[in-house]
Chains A and B, each alone.
Chain A
Amino acid sequence: ILNVEQSPQSLHVQEGDSTNFTCSFPSSNFYALHWYRWETAKSPEALFVMTLNGDEKKKGRISATLNTKEGYSYLYIKGSQPEDSATYLCASWALETGNQFYFGTGTSLTVIP
């Protein structure tokens, strides 16, 4: 089992605030890291797929960075809006786990209007 951790577990921010959260994963034999936005009882929506150390990706007001040497990724949301409220999941794939793809427990974001 691959231990993928996310922090914080939940977060409440005011509309317009910028925020960020962390995904930690084992750095050895790293293959890929994914970020998803997930609303309850719906399919997760893909945000980013990151594979290279130092990767930085951006999609609108959301961006992510990747450090494979130390085993972490940050997700940033600039100028949070109420529609950003959701759970943000990261998932990691490593060589030693074969075909398994492990998710973190998620960060639940609530943006207060």
Chain B
Amino acid sequence: SQTIHQWPATLVQPVGSPLSLECTVEGTSNPNLYWYRQAAGRGLQLLFYSVGIGQISSEVPQNLSASRPQDRQFILSSKKLLLSDSGFYLCAWFSLGGWTEAFFGQGTRLTVV
């Protein structure tokens, strides 16, 4: 079965510092991978998705970027964090068409201070 590993679980970073969150998938090949964020008091906002190595689609303009260096690896990055980047970040795998349930990482709680 599919498993998603996401780390770190919690992170406190100063404003202006860089960010790197990593997500790796086991149990499937060529997965569709997604990064979501929950800001305080809001739902899950789609940030990026990737259908394959080097293929990244950005949903909203922001201070973040994503990369897919390997088939089962999806990385969320920032060169300089803003206070507004604080939130809970989730990596997810969905099957194409969404006909089966999604699998999620454990999430990362990011606090920018």
Contact = CB atoms under 8 A, between A and B. Distances in A.
Nearest to B51: A99
A21 interface: no
Interface string B19-61: 0000000000000101010000011111001010000010100
A104 to B, nearest CB: 6
Interface string A89-106: 101010000011111111
A93 B99 CA distance: 9
A1 B36 CA distance: 14
Contact of A89 (B43, B49, B97): B43
B106 interface: yes
Interface residues of B, number: 28
Contact of B36 (A99, A103, A106): A103
Interface string A32-51: 10101000111110100101
A100 B98 CA distance: 10
A41 B97 contact: no
B46 A42 contact: no
Interface centre among B43, B97, B100, B102 (most CB of A within 10 A): B43
A102 B99 contact: no
Contact of A106 (B43, B90, B96, B109): B43
B43 A49 contact: no
Given A93-B98, A99-B49, A99-B51, A105 B43 contact: yes
Contacts of A40: 88
Interface of B: 32, 34, 36, 42-46, 49, 51, 57, 59, 88, 90, 92, 94, 96-102, 104-107, 109
